[in-house]
Amino acid sequence: MRWTIDHASRDRLQDQIASCVRRGVASGELPVGEQLPPAAELGIALSVDRNTVLAAYRDLRDEGVLEFRRGRGARVAAAGPALSSVTEAAEKLIAVGTKLGLGTNDLIRLIKDLT
Amino acid sequence: MTSLPIGEPTQYAVYTGRTTSWPMVAATSAGALLIVLMGKQPDSTWSDLVIVVPLILVAIGVLAEVLTGSSVRATAGPNGLTVHWGLIGWPRCTYRLDQIERAEVVDLPWWRVSYGLWWTPKRTNCTVRSGPTLRLSLRNQRTVTITVPEPAAAVAALNEASVF
């Protein structure tokens, strides 16, 4: 499982961590029942506070993505929506953009402006 | 949030993975029990020392195997490679980036699998299955071979981190 976060981003760190988990669940990289790394370990690896990781895990638990078990850490509780729908939408966006003469960088800038 | 010192990278790419080998634990337990049963004399009872002592030793061996060798948890990133062995995450070891000369993926044949933690003066092996495996060559000439679910992703995370 690959975790990427940007400390300089406008997005909160806990949201970025939660996005990594959602992406992993949606892509099948994190199957149901998979145990996530302990918050302290992940916090050290990503250079964030343990409580930031715990906040991300708690958000995901509230969404039903994760479940906490006493003494066994956080586990994936349910499979998220498949990424295929996002891929299809992205392909449509690229097709329309290409028709209008927009390049990859233009599309990335457009998405960044909208988010 | 932890504030980063000036000059520290702002982007972090980290790989985490866990490999657990329950078939290995089951096979070890079954094999150990079989050895004890085969060694039991027909006229001896279960309370005889000749049975109790080997049983205790086997139980300790299987417990040690379960605790240290059944599961490998690895984290690769800017802090190097941290490995936690076994169900309780101990023993553990960290190989910092400045200790690592090269990280690569090797194809481990089944006869080279250590099935648990194995230490020699030249090598540290903690492999629980054959196939693509992460291998670190350290600057002190030691090699570290560890089973992780996606060794290529672990190598990529280490290489990205060493660029900073």
Q: Is residue A37 less than 8 Å (CB to CB) from chain B?
A: yes
Cα A40 to Cα A48, A76, B144, B148, distances in angstroms: 9, 18, 24, 20
Please state, in angstroms and rounded to a whole number, the distance separating the CA atoms of residues A48 and A42. 8
- Asked if the ipTM is above 0.90, the reply is no
Q: Is residue B151 less than 8 Å (CB to CB) from chain A?
A: no
Please state, in angstroms and rounded to a whole number, the distance separating the CA atoms of residues A36 and B30. 30
- Asked if pLDDT for residue A55 goes beyond 90, the answer is yes
Please state, in angstroms and rounded to a whole number, the distance separating the CA atoms of residues A69 and A36. 12
Question: Are the beta carbons of B12 and B75 closer than 8 angstroms?
Answer: no
Three-class secondary structure of residue A103 per DSSP: coil
pLDDT in tens, B86-135: 777 777 889 999 999 999 999 999 888 887 778 888 999 888 888 999 99
Confidence of residue A5 (pLDDT cuts 50, 70, 90): very high
Q: Name, of A54-58, A87-91, A105-109, B46-50, the range with top average pLDDT.
A: A54-58
Q: What percent of chain A has pLDDT over 90?
A: 37
Q: What pLDDT does A25 receive?
A: 87
Give the B window 77-116 contacts with A, CB below 8 Å. 77-79, 82, 84, 89
Q: What pLDDT does B45 receive?
A: 65
Q: Is residue B21 less than 8 Å (CB to CB) from chain A?
A: no
Confidence of residue A94 (pLDDT cuts 50, 70, 90): confident
Please indicate whether residue A14 or residue B162 has the higher confidence score (pLDDT): A14
Q: What is the CA radius of gyration of chain B?
A: 20
Residue type for position A72: R
Contact (CB<8Å) B16/A3: yes
